[in-house]
Amino acid sequence: MDTLSIDIFDLGLAAVLVVFLAAIMLPISLGLSRSIIIAAARTCIQLMLIGLILKIVFASARLDWVIAIAMVMLLVAGREVMVRQEHRFSGWWGYGLGTFSMFLSSFLVTLIALLVIISPHPWYEPRYAIPLLGMILGNTMTGVALAVNNLTRAAVHEQAKIEARLMLGYGPQVALSDIRRQSIHSGLIPIVNAMAAAGIVSLPGMMTGQILAGVPPIEAVKYQILIMFMIAAGSGFGTLGAVWLGSRRLFDERHRLRLDRLRSRGNGGFTRRHG
């Protein structure tokens, strides 16, 4: 089965829909019209650049190139997690917490998939390693960002409740237990919803792309199930790790809640109240 090609004119027609959407947004005064256009332009530029880079990487199949691209993806994902926080940790923690959690979870899950499950030759075959890491890392980034944001926001809003528990003799993790559960829940909701709706409400992106490229539907389904399970594992481990590290950072060695370790997007920081 031949793959139908898409030319510049076809992409232009699709772009008209985005421009039309931005134009409709103008009278509503949501302030999104400019953002939509900029996001669409970034999509075109970034994807065309990555397409050219991947063409070179796929042709060379060198491990150092794969590692370099993987590290760039991780560092950019870490920044995206940080800037999405309403109250982020100050210092290197603001960037390092999410980045470290995603590194351990996403890279570990991707290595397992490459070395044990898919087993391409060589094991770092860019055609498999880079797309697989990209899908796992992208979804893990979403889960970690939601979980950490929920953790810090709830800690700020429920400061009095947490400190009351500490004064009653509860340990830091017990005092924060319900917030931790809510944070983990919020981080895992996207992937749980995606798995629950896969095949009924929506056809996942990878499966759709393979079917459009001419891959037999059953083979595309098997790959999509594998990817969904890997994404769920990466998101779950990353979310658990980020919440665990973040909840420990919220307290000092004397078990005091330290909201001064957070930086607000609005006022720049917090001052601990003393009673």
60, 86, 108 - which closes a domain: 60
Do both 12 and 45 map to the same domain?
yes
Percentage of the chain exceeding pLDDT 70: 93
Quick one: 40 and 122 in the same domain? Answer: no
Instruction: Classify the phi-psi angles of 255: left when phi > 0, otherwise alpha if psi is within -120 to 50, otherwise beta.
Output: left
pLDDT(2) > 70: no
**Domain C-terminal end among 25, 40, 60:** 60
The percentage of the chain sitting over the pLDDT mark of 90, rounded to a whole number, equals 41
Q: Are residues 23 and 87 in the same domain?
A: no
* Predicted pLDDT of residue 272: 46
Q: How many CB atoms lie within 10 A of CB 96?
A: 15
- For the segment 26-40, the average pLDDT, to the nearest whole number, is 83
The residue from 32, 60, 88 where one domain ends is 60
Tell me, yes or no, whether 107 and 232 share the same domain.
Answer: yes
Alpha helices in the chain (DSSP H): 8-28, 33-60, 63-83, 93-112, 126-157, 159-167, 172-175, 177-197, 205-212, 217-249
Indicate whether 98 and 7 sit together in one domain: no
Query: Which DSSP category does 4 fall into?
Result: P
pLDDT given for residue 273 in this prediction? 43
Domain membership of residue 273 (yes or no) is: no
pLDDT for 96-142, tens place per residue? 999 999 999 999 999 999 999 988 889 999 989 998 999 999 999 99
pLDDT of residue 214: 77
Residues 144 and 199 in one domain: yes
Asked if 28 and 162 sit in the same domain, the reply is: no
Determine contact, residues 114/51, Cβ cutoff 8 Å. Answer: no
Q: Tell me the three state secondary structure of residue 262.
A: strand
Rounded Cα–Cα distance for residues 134 and 234 (Å): 11
* Structural domain that includes position 37: 1-60
- Residue 272 inside a domain? The answer is no
Section 68-81 average pLDDT: 92
In a domain, 180, yes or no: yes
Per residue in 196-227, pLDDT (tens digit) is: 888 777 667 777 777 777 788 888 888 888 88
1, 155, 209 from 265: Cα distances, Å: 52, 15, 38
Residues 120 and 37 in one domain: no
Instruction: Please give the pLDDT value at position 142.
Output: 93
Q: Given the structure tokens 């490459």, which residue do they identify?
A: 114
Residues 67 and 50 in one domain: no
Confidence band (pLDDT; 50, 70, 90) for 263? confident
Residue 274 forms part of a structural domain = no
Bridge partners of residue 202, in order along the sequence: 198
142 within some domain: yes
117, 191: one domain: yes
Q: What confidence tier does 3 reach under pLDDT thresholds 50, 70, 90?
A: low
Of residues 202 and 16, more confidently modeled: 16
Verify that 11 and 73 share a domain, yes or no: no
Residue type, 45: I
| Domain co-membership, 36 together with 153 | no
Nearest to 112 by CA among 231, 230, 250: 230
Residue 134 contacts residue 73 (beta carbons within 8 Å): yes
Whose tokens are 């609005």? That residue is: 266
DSSP 61: -
Number of domains, the chain: 2
Question: How far does CA 143 lie from the centroid of its chain?
Answer: 6
